[in-house]
Structure 1
Amino acid sequence: MSVHPLPSSTPAAQGVDASGVHAFLDALEADPAIEPHSLMVLRHGHLVASGWWAPYSAERPHHLYSLSKSFTATAAGLAAAEGLIRFDDPVISYFPEFEADVTDPRSRAVLVRHVASMSSGHLAETLDRARETDREELVRGFLLVPPDRDPGTVFAYNQPTTYTLAAIVQRVTGQSLTDYLRPRLLDPLGIGEVAWQRDRRGRELGFSGLHAATDAIARLGQLYLRDGVWDGERLLPEGWVAEATRMHVANADGGTGGAPSDWQQGYGFQFWMSRHGFRGDGAYGQFCLVLPEQDAVIALTAATEEMQEVLNLVWEHLLPAFGPGPLAAPRPEDAALGERLARLALPPAPGKPAPPERTEEWSGAAFTPYGGVCAERPGLTAVDVTPLADGWRLTLTEGGHRLDLRLGGDGWSVGDEPVPTALSGGWTDPDTLVAEVVFLETPHRLVVTCSLADRTFTARWRTVPLDTRPLRAMGAPRGSV
């Protein structure tokens, strides 16, 4: 979180009808398929609405998944302005050690602009094939997967293209993405600590893995809304925003049943075109929406597989709330919205206190996976339940490592070691304990069910992590774990 708050204002003063924000919140919270985590709305450069659904909070970073890509593209734009890369150079020219291996003419014709716009000529995601080809060097693996069409002619959402762009930036700068961006982007914007996952080579992934607060998303969006200028200082090269946020190759990715899709409007340099404005987005509902016509930015984090529905709700409720000029004040809707945003909270998982007649049986009970192995988390081998003076301790053992969690009271029990979590739940009957573990720097929640009758447990994700990190590392990278 930044130590320099964004300028703030009432919704009415910036021409925002607070009743539209209320309606948007109502719709988000009424949809069982959407778990909102945070929302920030900026209009005319002022923060007019912000809130976090407890146990999520403003200062915590959140895994942005593919919204990371927009930060990677920004680093590439800065490197190009410094003459370190050129978008019309062949990718292979930055990796001369692969020259002898990469012989396919189309692979050799892939330019930096093609990986920046996901138009490498492949017709589908190449991540698995690239990894199978070379598990140690994903750039080489990617270049050894021959494109199906000429580069620049087709779009395919393709993680190794962004990874390659990130690898080029890190190679020519001699720095990680975060180190390169810190003095050029993050510090000038007032963005606090961020952390980016690395691969086994030590490279920051580029295509995913960035953990940053919602505030960082909002500031990036505002910078792009203002054509790369922040507080009167140009941070991004002139013309970069227009180039990065225009359609480079048409796409038809993500359409379902003929319904209008915000994934069919074209793709820029790691930004999506939307039915309104443009955006960066990441799996499970991480959004940076930039709306030039409304002079607005919306930053949002969530846990949902219904990302199109989130955008539909934005277009339905928030878009009409942006009026042409200030509204008459004072408006009770503004005060009510501020109060509502200050007390947002996710409901804790239901459950009763431990049954008194079975307390001794539950004390120190050990559970093994139902069926012999935990299907969604094979490395999770044991769950232990231990009484505490003020509740219970739930211990998850994965790969020989323990994750101790406290269960107590009616709300969320928050812990920070070894990874930020919040736990809630209780007994659904005398023989069954159900606890839900929220990993507070991610969109992910693990539901653990223990059965005393057969001393077994099950564990299932509400949203399945797209990487293979151990539970004890299910948060922003913090060195070795």
Structure 2
Amino acid sequence: MSSSFLHSTPEQQGVPSKAILDFIEAAEASPNELHSFILMRHGSVIASGGWSPYAPDRPHMLFSLSKSFTSSAIGFAVTEGLLTVEDHLIDYFPDDLPATISDNLREMRIRHVLSMNTGHDVDTTGFFFERSDEDWIKAFFDVPVVHQPGTHFVYNTGATYMLSALIQKLTGQRLLDYLTPRLMQPLGIEGATWEVSPQGIDTGGFGLNVTTEDIAKLGQLYLQRGQWNGQQILPEVWIEEASSKHSDNGDDPLSDWAQGYGYQFWRCRHNAYRGDGAFGQYCIVMPEQDAVLAITSGVRDMQAVMNLVWAHLLPNMTDEMPLSPDSAASDQLRAKLASLAYAPPQGMTASPLMDRINHQAYTLSENDLGLQSLCFDFDGPDCVVTMDFLSEGKSFREHFSYWSGVQTFSAGLGKWVERAPALEDEEPGIAASLVCLDDQCLLLTLRIFTTPFVYVFACTFTGEQLHMDVDVNAAFGETTFSIIGQQT
């Protein structure tokens, strides 16, 4: 754990250890898979852990939690006098505008872009990938602005991209480079990476990779109203503005997606607010409890995780400090945190099937994973798996990153074997395990531990044919695939 944080026991900060233990056990009993978390109260870490192979000090894809970092960059730009939130967006991009500028587009201000109130009727992001010239800025301006800005909330990742483009336009620096001396270095955030658009602009609304510790640092900075180690990193007025409600996004009292939206932060129930990203990446700030909760995960139901926070953690954050020691619960919590792990699938680690398919390559039918062939090598202590992906196309991109060409990694027989990430080459970290279920079927499980995704390949071999059923724990589209292969 980073030396940037103080550490304390839960009871010293007014939280029973049993409440945290109950939260963990409830999460493990649910169908939603947490990967890591850090809970802070009164400026100290009171619990942290990761379900191996995940860990709080390992990078994880943030998806839309990236937006809260982008919002912070606009806060710095405002502070430095580079722009104001009342400025009109089109004034900064005169060479990228359509031939006819509608009144609504002309009226769009930076605060509308920050608060997802641009006036668009749809998320503009889909239009980016459809554009033949790959000019995302022009694609944004070409989408009709149906509503008067400020009157219609639409979650719009393309709008956040424009904030990143604005920073680059004003400073000549990529968003991440601009944030590094202003936010990353003061908070001790190292090794962050950000995906870029075809124009070389950080994607802004997604694509940032940092650790769970780094998520907690951002939350703690906002909880401390912009102060860090005695210095005012971001002005308090910006923290207040960014975390306040600017857009009305619903009226469901039980939904944490209908409590209002700020400047790239969601308002929550219980007067909390958060940044969040797809499949369960959270930075939850609870001002009334003086607490921050950072979570990475791979879930389909993000509200269910929030419900666990409100049920087990928030109501047990008391004003009484310290609480009376509870040695039994404290010991149980420490033991639980130390043993968090996802066990490898169980099955046979030796089978005639392994000899039968050893070194045999299988050519696969066309599929949405972009996977063309695979081969298993059982000569060593682990199975060496070789997968050949399309050089262009989806190739898992929808889920985490480009995989193109030949990818080779080891899968442990009945255990996990890890391949470290190579983020500079966009190669994710993998923990892989393989077992045989019988003499015809093997199960290959890939935990892509720098992402939310877990892939399970159930491979049935009949003669020279392979039938492969693939299941992924979470995705924007399909989560199951059926692929046919032929021995070559």
Specify if TM > 0.5. Answer: yes
Stretches of structure 1 lacking an aligned partner (at least 5 in a row): 468-481
Maintained 8 Å contact 1:368/1:456: no
Q: Per-residue displacement from partner, 1:397-426 (whole Å, max 9, x unpaired)?
A: 112622212122432111126531001231
- Confirm or deny that 1:295 pairs with 2:256: no
**Aligned residue in 1 for 2:438:** 429
1:57 aligns with 2:52: no
In structure 1, C-alpha distance between the alignment counterparts of 2:477 and 2:240, rounded to whole Å:
31
Higher mean Cα deviation, 65-74 or 91-100?
91-100
**Number of the residue aligned with 2:347:** 351
Does 399-408 or 278-287 show the bigger shift? Answer: 399-408
Q: Which residue of 2 aligns with 1:29?
A: 28
Match of 2:336 in 1: 340
Amino acid at match of 1:305: R
Looking at structure 1, the residues matched to 82 and 214 of structure 2 have their Cα atoms a distance apart, in angstroms, of 26
2:260 is the counterpart of 1:269: no
> Which structure has more RCO (C-alpha within 8 Å, separation ≥ 6)?
1
Q: Give the equivalent residue in structure 2 for 1:176.
A: 174
Deviation at 1:313, TM superposition (A): 0.6
Provide the TM-score with structure 2 as the length reference: 0.90
Change (3 A) 1:298 1:373: same
State the distance in 2 between where 1:317 and 1:171 align: 45
Cα distance change, pair 58–304 in 1 and its aligned pair in 2 (3 A): same
Q: By how many angstroms is 1:71 displaced?
A: 0.1
Deviation, 1:199, is 1.1
Letter in 1 for 2:412: G
CA drift at 1:121: 0.9
- 1:366, 1:455 within 8 Å by CA — same for their partners in 2? no
Q: How far is 1:304 from its partner?
A: 0.5
Deviates more, 1:218-227 or 1:412-421: 412-421
CA shift, 1:466, in A, is: 7.9
The residue aligned with 2:452 is 443
In the superposition, relative to structure 1, how do residues 218 and 189 fare at CA in structure 2: closer, same or farther (>3 Å)? Answer: same
SS in 2 for 1:151: coil
* CA distance in 1: counterparts of 2:253 and 2:434, whole angstroms: 38
- State the shift of 1:282 in Å: 0.2
- Where does 1:177-326 land on structure 2 (aligned, <5 Å)? 177-252=175-250, 260-276=254-270, 277-325=272-320, 326=322
Q: 1:136 aligns with which of 124, 134, 137?
A: 134
In structure 2, C-alpha distance between the alignment counterparts of 1:146 and 1:140, rounded to whole Å: 12
Asked if structure 2 preserves the Cα contact closer than 8 Å seen for 1:380 and 1:396, the reply is yes
Q: Equivalences for 1:383-422 in 2 at 5 Å?
A: 383-399=374-390, 401-416=405-420, 418-422=427-431
Report SS of the residue matched to 1:347: coil
Distance 1:135 1:109, change over 3 A: farther
Q: Which amino acid aligns with 1:408?
A: G
Q: Which residue of 2 aligns with 1:373?
A: 366
Cα distance, 1:396 vs structure 2: 1.2
Deviations 1:188-211 (A, max 9, x none): 111121100111111110000000
RMSD after superposition: 1.9
Deviation at 1:100, TM superposition (A): 5.7
Deviation beyond 4 Å, 4+ runs, structure 1? none
Identity of aligned residues (%): 39
Amino acid at match of 1:271: F
Residue type of the alignment partner of 2:85: F
Instruction: Give the TM-score taking structure 1 as reference length.
Output: 0.91
**Structure 1 position 86, deviation (Å):** 1.4
Report the residue type matching 1:317 in the other structure.
H
